[in-house]
Structure 1
Amino acid sequence: MKSLQLIFSNPRYFAPAWVFASLNIWFGTWAVYIPSVKENLGINKADLGIAIFCLSLGVFTIFPLASTIINKLGVGRATWYGVVLSSVAALFPLFVPNYYLLMGALFVFGASNGLTDISMNTLVTEIEKEDKQNFMSAAHGFFSLGGVIAGLGSFLIPLFNNPPLHMLLTVILVFVVNLYFKRHYYHIKSAPIEKEPFSLKLFKPLLLLGLVGFVAMGSEGAIVDWSGLYLKEITLAPEALIGAGFLAFSTAMTVGRFLGDGISSRIGSVNIVALGSVIAIVGYGTVLSGHTLLAIVGFALNGLGFSVIVPELFRIGGNVKGVESAQGVAFIAGTGYSGFLIGPVILGFLAEEASLRHSFYALLGCVIFVLAITFFLRKKK
């Protein structure tokens, strides 16, 4: 909890942590109103899926450009510009009058979120380097907290009965807090490094980190999308407990991220990735027991295990020798986000061809693979 105390006691650390929370508050508030948007525009599920794909396309479009933008502007300024762009872009999807403008709005929203995401992770990496303090995991905890805040905001839906107004007020409140704290990071620039020419020696550790990110975030996406169905179809859980797996996963992930920095400072980044993998392996073993309560406990263990892996990947990726921190973070973000989007789709096909239980066996195998990768990462440290 030391990193959490650090964030709340010093605006230098709270400022970037609030950017993490802001990103998920904007996105979560939009997500709450997806059914309303579908109904208001008179589109079907397939059309909605294409529109949401445009959001992902926006994210992927900005990833190759992000490191150049960050290095040109400075990481602090890039983070602030990302906040401004995301604030404005968050309004568009709920204000557009037709489907085609919705696709364009979601593309812009995704691109601005992608820039903010890479900038804020690079910013935390640079502050950690300067101050010799670890708070990356806690900052990701604030991202999870932002989702909780957005979820609580859904209780205001009957009060507002006006999605654009709800989003406008949310954007204004979140933006004002960012505006107040921006002075604590706006001036920060990435520390100059001695760049090395491209070689397999440099690419290999990044590739290994990317594989871990793909699997870890792919597993997160799979649990978000498939945990309820798993409890319903495999463990035959009662209706009241179908959402309990996701709740347990999300709660454990938030708590784990607030605790992760302290553990990382004691045992090191690669070791905590290995520890998280072991916990996730135990979690999948428990999920595969087929008993409802044990499966819910297993999802909680998965959340605890994965909670520390992704923040550490950003920390490691931002400190690879001979690679600019923004480039390392962008590579991890790109591969990880690919897993988050593609993983659930692959598992859906596997569930259709075999069974949902087989999909979770595949996830178990992937995490065992991650554990094996950590042995190579120790050599490349």
Structure 2
Amino acid sequence: MKSLLLILGNRKYLAPALVFASLNVWFGTWAIYIPTVKEKLGIDKGDLGFALFFLSLGVFSVFPVASKLVNYFGVGRATWLGVLSSSIFALFPLLVPNYILLCTALFFFGAANGFTDIAMNTLVTEVEKEDQVTIMSAAHGFFSLGGILVGLGSFLITVISNPFLHMLGSVVLVLLVNWRFKKEYQNKKATVEPTNGFSLQVFKPLLLLGLVGFISMASEGAIVDWSGLYLQEITLAPTYLIGAGFLAFSITMTLGRFLGDGISEKVGSYKLLFIGATLAIIGFLSVLTANTYLAIFGFGLSGLGFSAMVPELFRIGGKIKGVQSSQGVAFIAGSGYFGFLSGPVILGYLAETFNLKLSFVVLLLSACLVLLISIYKPRSK
């Protein structure tokens, strides 16, 4: 909680944290309207999963050049450009009239989100190094806080009755808030590390942790994209509860990330990983009961379990000696985003070929793999 107080007490730390919250406002608002878009365009789960692939493709199209762009513009200006581009491209997926344009819109939305993600994580890494503070996990907590705002907003779906107007209102609010705080970071540049270029050998110790990042963010992406449909189709939840799984997940994810920095210092990274995987396993078992309220509880418990894993990886990746912080963050972001965006696509294929419940069985088994890694890795040392 100390890192949260640092952020709330200093505009310099609050400004980048608000970009984290904004990213989930854009993405989460799109996510709660996925069932609506599916019905509007008359597509099945397989088509939806393929459309989400274009979202992933957009993100990965940015990764090869993102670190160079961040260094070229400066990490502060790059972050603000990310805010602007994400705000613009967030509007189109809910506005398009056909499936082809949906895929196109999601590609550009994904590219903007991917660039913003790398820029803002690099920004926080630079702030941590410069001021000798630990705020990465709490900054990711603000990402989850954005999800809470979106989840609360989901109860207004029947009142607003227009997905595009809902997104437009969210975008305007996000732009106004970030405009007010952008001067705190706009002129910041990343420190230049002596390096011989990107070397896979430098990142070899992180490959197993990259797998953890993949699983953690794949689970996060699955809950964001499919929890509403799961509650609607599998547990037969009433309309007003369709967004409750995402809301519960976002609340516990926020809490876990605000507490993550302190817990990591006390118990260590691998014990935190073990505890998180255990909570996620129990959470997915609850989801698989197909009871609405147990499933909502399960989504929340899974969020608590996965909450502090990825921020720790970003912090490590951004502080590797001999590597530009933007390159390290891009490496971690690559493995994590591959999970976050390809996970829902894979689950969409499984849901269409078999059923949506089987998709969450796969997530349960993946959480078990994280548990095994957390046990094996310390012993291998």
Same fold (TM over 0.5): yes
- When normalised by structure 1's length, the TM-score is 0.83
Q: Note closer, same or farther for the CA distance 1:2–1:19 as it changes in structure 2 (3 Å cut).
A: same
CA distance in 1, matches of 2:86, 2:18: 14
Which residue is equivalent to 1:304? 304
Q: Note closer, same or farther for the CA distance 1:316–1:341 as it changes in structure 2 (3 Å cut).
A: same
Which residue is equivalent to 2:6? 6
CA distance in 1, matches of 2:156, 2:230: 30
Amino acid at match of 2:43: N
CA distance in 1, matches of 2:26, 2:195: 36
Q: Note closer, same or farther for the CA distance 1:84–1:104 as it changes in structure 2 (3 Å cut).
A: same
Deviation of the 1:238 alpha carbon: 8.3
| TM-superposition CA deviations, 1:115-167 (whole Å, max 9, x none) | 00111111111111111111111111111111221232234444444433332
Deviation of the 1:172 alpha carbon: 1.5
SS at match of 1:170: helix
Superposed CA RMSD? 3.6
Which residue is equivalent to 1:367? 370
Percentage of identical aligned residues: 61
CA distance in 2, matches of 1:158, 1:273: 39
CA distance in 2, matches of 1:71, 1:9: 29
SS at match of 2:308: helix
CA distance in 1, matches of 2:284, 2:25: 29
SS at match of 2:260: helix
CA distance in 2, matches of 1:268, 1:123: 25
| TM-superposition CA deviations, 1:158-204 (whole Å, max 9, x none) | 44444333322321221011011001011111122121455554131
Deviation of the 1:268 alpha carbon: 4.9
Amino acid at match of 1:53: F
Which residue is equivalent to 1:203? 203
Q: How many residues align?
A: 375
Which residue is equivalent to 1:44? 43
CA distance in 1, matches of 2:226, 2:160: 31
CA distance in 1, matches of 2:87, 2:166: 13
Q: Is the 8 A contact 1:285 1:364 kept in 2?
A: no
Deviation of the 1:329 alpha carbon: 1.1
- When normalised by structure 2's length, the TM-score is 0.83
| TM-superposition CA deviations, 1:12-56 (whole Å, max 9, x none) | 11111111111111122223334444555x442354444332222
Which residue is equivalent to 2:330? 330
Q: Note closer, same or farther for the CA distance 1:189–1:25 as it changes in structure 2 (3 Å cut).
A: same
Matched, 1:341 2:341: yes
Q: Is the 8 A contact 2:274 2:371 kept in 1?
A: no
SS at match of 1:164: helix
Which residue is equivalent to 2:32? 32
Matched, 1:191 2:194: no
Amino acid at match of 1:81: L
Matched, 1:255 2:258: no
Matched, 1:131 2:134: no
CA distance in 1, matches of 2:290, 2:50: 35
- 1:158-237 equivalent positions in 2, closer than 5 A: 158-196=158-196, 199=199, 201-223=201-223
Q: Note closer, same or farther for the CA distance 1:244–1:97 as it changes in structure 2 (3 Å cut).
A: closer
- 1:59-138 equivalent positions in 2, closer than 5 A: 59-138=59-138
Q: Note closer, same or farther for the CA distance 1:197–1:110 as it changes in structure 2 (3 Å cut).
A: closer
Q: Is the 8 A contact 2:56 2:342 kept in 1?
A: no
Q: Is the 8 A contact 2:32 2:225 kept in 1?
A: no
SS at match of 1:191: coil
SS at match of 2:187: coil
Deviation of the 1:112 alpha carbon: 0.6
Q: Which has the larger radius of gyration?
A: 1
Deviation of the 1:85 alpha carbon: 0.8
Higher RCO, 1 vs 2 (CA within 8 Å, ≥6 residues apart):
2
Structure 1: state its 5+ residue gaps.
none
Q: Is the 8 A contact 2:145 2:254 kept in 1?
A: yes
